[in-house]
Amino acid sequence: MEKKSIKDTGLHLLKKGQKGIMHAIFSRFGIIILLFAVQVLVLFSVFILFQSFVPEFIGGGIILGILVSLYIINTRIDPTSKLTWVILVMGLPVFGTLLFFYTTLEFGHRKLRDRVDFLVNSTRKKIPQEKHVLEDFIKTDPGAASIAHYLQRCGGFPVFDKTETTYLPIGENMFDEVLLRLKEAKDFIFLEYFIIDEGIMWGKILEILAEKVKEGVDVRVMYDGTNEFTTLPHDYPKMLEKLGIKCKVFAPLSPFVSTHYNYRDHRKIMVIDGNIAFTGGINFADRYINKEVVHGHWKDTAVMLRGKAVKGFTLMFLQMWNIDEKETVFDPFINHPSVPAEDSSGFVIPYCDCPLDGDMVGERVYMDILNRSKRYVHIMSPYLILDSRMETAIKFAAERGVEVAIILPGVPDKFIPYSLAKSHYASLLDSGVQIYEYTPGFIHAKSFVADDVEAVVGTINLDYRSLYHHFECAAYCYGTNCIGDIEKDFKETLKKCRRIEKDTIWKNYPLLRPLSFFIKVLAPLL
């Protein structure tokens, strides 16, 4: 009997017409946008009302600007953000002051912060650090092992051995591997992704998930609320629940203005039976496997883990899943039997970055690699919007004689981030950093590889969104079998890139140069 398609079995839950302009206007989404716009208009009117008194109280405005600027300078925010806020406050004292305190007083996300803190602190010992593994890492490389101490201290992230790592250099490779591994699932499947969109990729995955539910597999799906803008209807979780799939939306859209929307779940995590895990830059949408061409060829990467380190990603998923659960369940999944990869080499540390705890985990891991590097650091990133610390670390590595090479998109997805990236080029080039742009299209990969011994593959971009405002995750690998494959992929990708020199920075997009000049001061707020 011929196998029915996903559409025939009733699993094709969405229709393209739902994404049209009329749907956007006359749907719940349209109402939310309207109410949101009204609130923004009211707030802006209030700001303008207060601002109108400034000409009558010039002295008061100057004093206010100076006092608030002094307060900002003494906060713990990064120096680049301080500069942005000081300029804004001194230029528009009342508006700038109100905006600063509105965005920093945790309006709308205090409960989220407290809940995340509770879950992390109460579960950080669910996976104890195996003493002999840490000792072996220290013996192998004391310098690199120091990052294990940091990650254990800030988030309780253990270092694991006996974990096989498989690097997947393109979305199509990951898709094939995911389909194969999902079909092998016996007990549970956890998916946490930033973007889910209907199409070939998600359709085939959804078909397998529905079949696995029928076999008694516990299937859970979690995605970020920004999907409601363009890809999924607000009631999509209910649609999945009809198939037996448990589904949650992180920070769904609501008609209330809040700084809560600044913190998005940008993580990409798949866990299968506690023995297989995927992470990287790849979301579930057809452009990630080049079935839909948006910005030329889409280059993205991922890593698959098999063995002990998968427990780290299992715990990360459960911490996020249980944010709104009254009764939390961790142990059956954390303690689920897994098969150690006995023939594997090296060490793996799955870790995540939470924007609510003040620890710049993603940035510090990258900086640690740069600071310890001896021969080379090769980087792929879709964005390059750097704070002063990260820019200094990149430049200093190059100035020490380390070959620092960065591959960035040749075809931009957004012109403001692209112009901001180019605004860093000249300074980096002066320090000896090599910059390349991927001519076939868009680079969405997020990877660091250094000295043939260590690498990071995950979701963390080199921009303020990832480093400061998003929930992120990654896998740190030392001496694992995937290191050589990551470096090989970098060199192969380099063959498809143009090298940027100072006189070619703005060659194809000259109008972006004046744009970057004005917009760079606002980079930390974007």
pLDDT digits (tens, 9 = 90+) for 129-153: 999 999 999 999 999 999 999 999 9
Residues 188 and 224: beta-carbon distance below 8 Å: no
pLDDT in tens, 61-107: 778 788 888 888 888 887 888 888 888 888 877 777 877 877 776 66
- pLDDT given at position 43: 61
DSSP summary character for residue 465: I
Strands (E), 330-452: 347-353, 376-380, 403-409, 434-438, 441-443, 447-450
Owner of token pair 């004391």: 142
Q: Which of 526, 525, 471 lies closest to 82 in space, CA to CA?
A: 525
If asked whether residues 182 and 318 sit together in one domain, one would say yes
CB 362 within 8 A of CB 460: yes
Strand partners, 298: 442
pLDDT band per the 50, 70, 90 thresholds, residue 26: very low
Amino acid identity for residue 439 in this structure: T
Examine the domain organization and report whether 236 and 151 are in the same domain. Answer: yes
Range of the domain at 349: 110-353
Are 195 and 322 within one domain? yes
> What is the H or E stretch that residue 334 is in?
helix 331-334
Residue 10 placed within a domain: no
Selection from 319, 163, 201 nearest residue 250 by Cα: 319
Rounded CA separation 387/382 (Å): 16
Strands 218-224 and 441-443: unpaired
Q: Specify whether 270 is located in the same domain as 369.
A: no
Residue pair 486/321 in contact (Cβ under 8 Å)? The answer is no
| Residue 395 and residue 433 in contact, taking contact as beta carbons nearer than 8 Å | yes
Identity of the residue numbered 205: I
Answer yes or no: are the C-beta atoms of 282 and 267 closer than 8 Å. no
Residues 6+ apart with CB under 8 A from 182: 189, 205, 208, 209, 212, 272
* CA nearest to 51, candidates 89, 88, 85, 94: 94
Helix (H) or strand (E) holding 237: helix 236-242
Counting the structural domains of the chain, the total is 3
- Predicted local confidence at residue 5, as pLDDT: 45
Q: Is 268 domain-assigned?
A: yes
Residues 250 and 385 placed together within one structural domain of the fold = no
Last residue of a domain, one of 56, 80, 104: 104
Q: What percent of the chain has pLDDT over 90?
A: 62
Given 46, 79, 104, the domain boundary residue is: 104
Residue 30 lies in a domain: yes
Decide if 2 is inside a domain. Answer: no
Output the pLDDT for position 427: 97
Helix, strand, coil proportions of the chain in percent (round to 5)?
50, 20, 35
- Which residue in this structure is represented by tokens 């030392």? 478
CATH of the domain at 269: 3.30.870.10
In a domain, 260, yes or no: yes
Task: Measure CA 133 to chain center.
Answer: 28
**Interval 246-260: pLDDT, tens:** 999 998 766 555 555
Whether this prediction's pTM lies above 0.75 is answered by yes
C-alpha span between 89 and 98 (Å, rounded):
9
**Percent with pLDDT over 70 in the chain:** 86
Tokens (6 digits) for 383 = 């964005």
pLDDT single digits (tens) 442-492: 999 999 999 999 999 999 999 988 998 899 999 999 999 999 999 999 999
**Residue 77 placed within a domain:** yes
Residues 119, 44, single domain; the answer is: no
**Do 309 and 436 reside in the same domain of the chain?**
no
Quote the tokens at residue 411.
Answer: 């075809």
Distance CA 494, CA 251 (A): 38
Query: CA 311 to CA 307: how far, in whole Å?
Result: 8
Q: Are residues 124 and 177 in the same domain?
A: yes
Domain boundary among 322, 353, 384: 353
Residue 422: what are its φ and ψ, rounded to 5°? -65, -25
Cα–Cα distance for residue pair 401/451, rounded to 1 Å? 13
Q: Which uninterrupted H or E stretch holds 393?
A: helix 388-399
- Answer yes or no: is 256 within a domain: yes
Q: Give the model's pLDDT for residue 21.
A: 42
Beta strands in 439-493 (DSSP E): 441-443, 447-450, 454-458, 470-478
CA distances from 225 to 234, 432, 494 (A): 9, 41, 35
164 domain residue, yes or no: yes
Arithmetic mean of pLDDT, 348-354: 96
**pLDDT greater than 60 at residue 519:** yes
Of 478, 457, 186, 147, whose CA–CA distance to 313 is shortest? 457
Same domain, 323 and 432: no
Same domain flag for 150 and 256: yes
Claim to verify: residue 451 and residue 521 sit in the same structural domain: yes
Shared domain for 403 and 485, answered yes or no, is yes
Q: Of 359, 341, 361, 360, nearest to 351 (Cα)? A: 361
| 192-211: average pLDDT | 96
